[in-house]
Chains A and B, each alone.
Chain A
Amino acid sequence: MKPFAELIDALRLCRFEKDKKRLWEQFIQNNQDHESYVGLVTALLKNECPKGIISSKNLKLLAMETAGIPNWLLDESKNFVGDLSETIALILAPLQSEKKVDVGLNDMLLTMDDLRFRDSHEIREWILSQWQHLSTLEILVFNKLVTCSFRSPLSLEIFSETKNSIEPIQLKLVLLYAERGRIKGRTGFTEFTMGIASGESYVTFTKVSVQLSDIESEILEKWIIENTQEKFGPVHRIPAKQVFTVECSVITPSKRHKSGYRITEATLISWENGMSTEQVTTTESLRAILKG
């Protein structure tokens, strides 16, 4: 369980698809003598996960009872952390026993399979015992597996040699959030969250790395700083005014994303300085493009 949890965490912390690919290839190489283990991990990373044994709601109740935390406080914590499984893992941290037991991923999934048709009391007891001796990172992944909310950090393309047969489409998207980071050894806006038009407003659609000429970067940086409406750490929220052309090669429908789509490969092509936001692609027109 530990190597798997560490792999998932490392993949989630990667900022670029190429780094994920490298990590994944390294993992396969390190485990080349454990074919069935690699097969199991591959299946999980293709989102072929077993059915859950407890609902997220009941897992949350169990965590509240165990940690002695009221509902509203867990909700407030989740609002900050952004993920229920991680929130529960962090809240349980002080209750873990010193003695960590190394549970194999395969054994874990087999036990889950056994428990599926058992009494809910037995399932709760088993989850409590796992919470005691797994590490915080392992609990995070464990929570996702038992509630069937595990989502692969790897795109399907990494598994398939066909990695480019999709014709990329170019969309006009509007800049909603800009994140500061390091770029070419200095501070700058390194990542943009782009929005697509949906009804009267814009919803977040995809993130792109910023690749612009120095002059464009400079003008935009000034504009972003002057027009920042709100700051969350290094992330600036700005009015939806600046339009960009973004090329997307993999767009799949997804109920988990606000726009209704999951985008795995998005590249910033150009800044359409002065273009009206009326030109921004709408969710309706995207649907038509994808059907066509």
Chain B
Amino acid sequence: MKLRLSKGISVQGLAYGETIFMNGVEISLFPAGHVPGSAQVKLSYRGEIWVISGDYKTIADGLSPAFESVQCHHFVTESTFGLPIFHWRPQDEVFQDINAWWQRNAANGFKSIMLGYSLGKAQRIMKYLDRGIGDVICHSAIADANLALENSGFTFGTWTEAGKAVVDFSSDSLSRSLLICPPNAINGPLMQHIGRHEVANCSGWMEVRKSRNWGGVDQGFVLSDHADWPQLLVAVSASCAEHVYVTHGFTDVFARYLRENVRINTEVVKVGHWNRTEE
């Protein structure tokens, strides 16, 4: 959290399931399965229980602690992918495609560049890359997140930081390598010295064809750390909540579906600015 926000912040860590009290409210955290360290917040006060999901996915990715459903009276859920067009394939299948793409590029003398968020997505990708194909090189932002996670006991295979290898990355000796970058680094200086390459984006938005043209990437893989439509429905139903509050994403659509088709009291909660393309 210090890495993401600021080293100077005052922050108290809380293990999953551990309890603290603030103003008489019992507060505890449960795994959200979104990225390492992500948590749902459970608040209990005089027998009434609220759970705020934050970003989550219910399917285990093998890296982040798996989502735990918590029964409550009031459930606040995200709905980033709250349309029935979003269905994620099992991640093994997606990683088979990713490794095949990398293998093909390596065979054709193209370097592979994979875009993915620094915390969570990048390490999830790294964990399942086939290291028999070549080396994995990470952009400095991802390297920072890697070190922080490795210090907390997470493992996702060997890697080299791009800063130290960038000169060599243009050479043929590294032509079988795969470079992982955060999406905004695609326009940075790193890219200018790379030579022949293909760029792939790993995101839930890649499900829809029009999104694949965003930013001019060559390949889109559907891989998300958010719940797809079936997972959203599973999470709501497993919470046994009488009241559901929907925030972030296709809020109106998902809330209406829960009200009219699942028959749960549901409201939309608006929080600050949210850009649909962020994930």
A185 within 8 A of B: yes
A199 CB-CB contact with B under 8 Å: no
- How many residues in A have their beta carbons less than 8 Å from beta carbons of B? 32
Contact indicator per residue, chain B 63-98, by CB within 8 Å of chain A (1) or not (0): 000000000000000000001111100000000000
> Which stretch (A31-39, A77-85, A164-172, A276-284) binds chain B?
A77-85
Q: Which of B23-31, B156-164, B206-214 has 4 or more CB atoms under 8 Å from chain A?
A: B206-214
Give chain A nearest CB distance to B227 CB in angstroms: 14
Chain B contacts for A190, CB-based, 8 A: 216
Least Cβ–Cβ distance between B194 and chain A, in angstroms: 9
Tell me whether B186 is interfacial, beta carbon within 8 Å: yes
Residues of the A chain whose Cβ atoms lie less than 8 Å from the Cβ of B187: 182, 185-187
Q: Mark A165-191, 1 if CB is under 8 A from B, else 0.
A: 000000000000000111001110010
Mask: chain A, 230-247; 1 = CB below 8 Å from B; 0 = not? 011110000000000000
The answer to the question of A115 belonging to the interface, with a C-beta cut-off of 8 Å to chain B, is: no
B43: shortest Cβ distance to chain A, in Å?
A: 32
Please tell me if B261 contacts chain A, counting CB pairs below 8 Å. yes
Q: What residues on B are CB-neighbors of A182 within 8 Å?
A: 186-187, 191, 215-216
Chain B residues 175-218 with CB under 8 Å of chain A are 186-187, 191-192, 207-216
A73 within 8 A of B: yes
Assess the A70–B213 pair: CB atoms within 8 A: no
Note all chain B residues with C-beta closer than 8 A to A69. 84
- Which B residues are in CB contact (< 8 Å) with A234? 214-215, 277
Among B223-249, those with CB < 8 Å from A are 230
Q: How far is the CA of A280 from the CA of B250 in the complex (A)?
A: 38
A77 x B83 contact (CB < 8 A): yes
Nearest-CB distance from A105 to chain B (Å)? 20
Give A231 to B275 CA distance when docked, in angstroms. 9
**B270 interfacial by beta-carbon distance below 8 Å:** no
Q: Is the CB of B85 within 8 A of A81?
A: yes
User: Which residues of B line the A interface, CB within 8 A?
Assistant: 83-87, 186-187, 191-192, 207-216, 230, 250, 253, 256-257, 260-261, 275-277
Please list the 7 inter-chain residue pairs (A to B) with the smallest Cβ-Cβ separation, ordered nearest first: A90-B85, A187-B187, A233-B277, A185-B192, A181-B216, A76-B253, A93-B87
15 more A-B contacts (CB under 8 A) besides A12-B209, A15-B216, A73-B257?
A9-B209, A76-B253, A80-B208, A81-B208, A81-B210, A90-B87, A91-B85, A180-B215, A181-B215, A181-B216, A182-B216, A185-B191, A185-B192, A232-B277, A233-B211
21 contacts between A and B (CB under 8 A): A9-B209, A70-B260, A73-B83, A73-B84, A73-B253, A73-B257, A76-B250, A77-B83, A77-B84, A80-B83, A80-B250, A86-B208, A87-B85, A93-B87, A94-B87, A181-B216, A182-B191, A185-B192, A233-B211, A233-B276, A234-B215
